[in-house]
Amino acid sequence: MGPILEVKDLKKYYREVKAVDGISFAIEPGTCFGLLGPNGAGKTTAIEVIEGILHPTAGEINYKGRRRGQSFKNEVGIQFQNTELPQFLTVKETLITFRNLYDRRADLDYLVETCRLEEILGRDNHKISGGQKQRLLLAMALANDPDLIFLDEPTTGLDPQARRHLWDIVNQIKSMKKTMVLTTHYMEEAELLCDIIGIIDYGKIIVMGSPQVLLKEHGGGATITIRAELSDSILRNFPCRWSRKHDRIEIQTDSPNECISRMVQQGVDLSTMNVHAHNLEDLFLKLTGHDLRA
């Protein structure tokens, strides 16, 4: 079986901006693909073009081995960044309404149970919390029992507890071998949920692969911070890159165990030492820069 979604040299240009500048990727069935990038990097534009909301300037979008056709809209589910819920309807009435828009429909009890909506079914849409709204929007995206699901920053603005509840639901959906495309600002979210990630910047995908492989190739190792009297001559013997910052020494190393072992051999006081293993957030900042984007 080939990719369920294949994007080839996709471009979306405006008069003065190349929002998406020739991205390509393929997603195998049952995979959660994460598209990450700073604000303005092009990830939401790319997703909206793939979903069919925006027209591409150039490129090819294939679904199940063929050019994306009419069946695409009926077989995919979309959870947008911002969606206004219908007024004067309860949560249950909203779900029933959205199910009735499709020929193929997910079981109502399945939607309620999967998205944990049992306690709010009779509540009006405008009387539910932000986390409850996101769970309802996810249930709406699943209303047609889609083969491919787009989640555009689904946990933005949620408190940590609500965010983790939604992660649990997404992992449950993943276990059913559904294919998902996720955009997110949260690096922990990408590490927990995504099998493959692509980091997009200035309209181009600059790296792509599993979080584990990308960390190994581009950002493994650790940062060791210590407040101790260490001469430059001692530091030069460590397998590391180091710098002095105010009252501490910051050591960047791909071999933290060896580095710490040599400190012990030198009799260095390790009581002020802090070790930070590099994660996806470190990789993201390394590749896209630390500056805040407009």
Q: How far apart are CA 208 and CA 185, in angstroms?
A: 16
Higher model confidence: residue 218 or residue 61? 61
Q: With bands split at pLDDT 50, 70 and 90, how would you rate the model's confidence at 290? A: low
Q: Given 3.30.70.600, 3.40.50.720, 3.40.50.300, 3.20.20.60, which CATH number is that of 5-216? A: 3.40.50.300
On average, the pLDDT of the chain sits at 88
Cβ-Cβ contacts under 8 Å for 48 (sequence gap 6 or more): 54
Tell me how long the chain is. 294
pLDDT value of position 138: 94
The closest of 250, 182, 254, 188 to 217, measured between CA atoms, is 254
Do 3 and 26 touch, CB atoms closer than 8 A? yes
Beta bridge mates, 201:
204
Do 59 and 220 touch, CB atoms closer than 8 A? no
Q: How far apart are CA 182 and CA 229, in angstroms?
A: 46
pLDDT tens-digit series, residues 204-215: 999 999 988 888
Q: How far apart are CA 266 and CA 102, in angstroms?
A: 70
Q: Where are the domains of the chain?
A: 5-216, 221-277
pLDDT tens-digit series, residues 255-283: 788 888 888 887 888 888 888 777 788 78
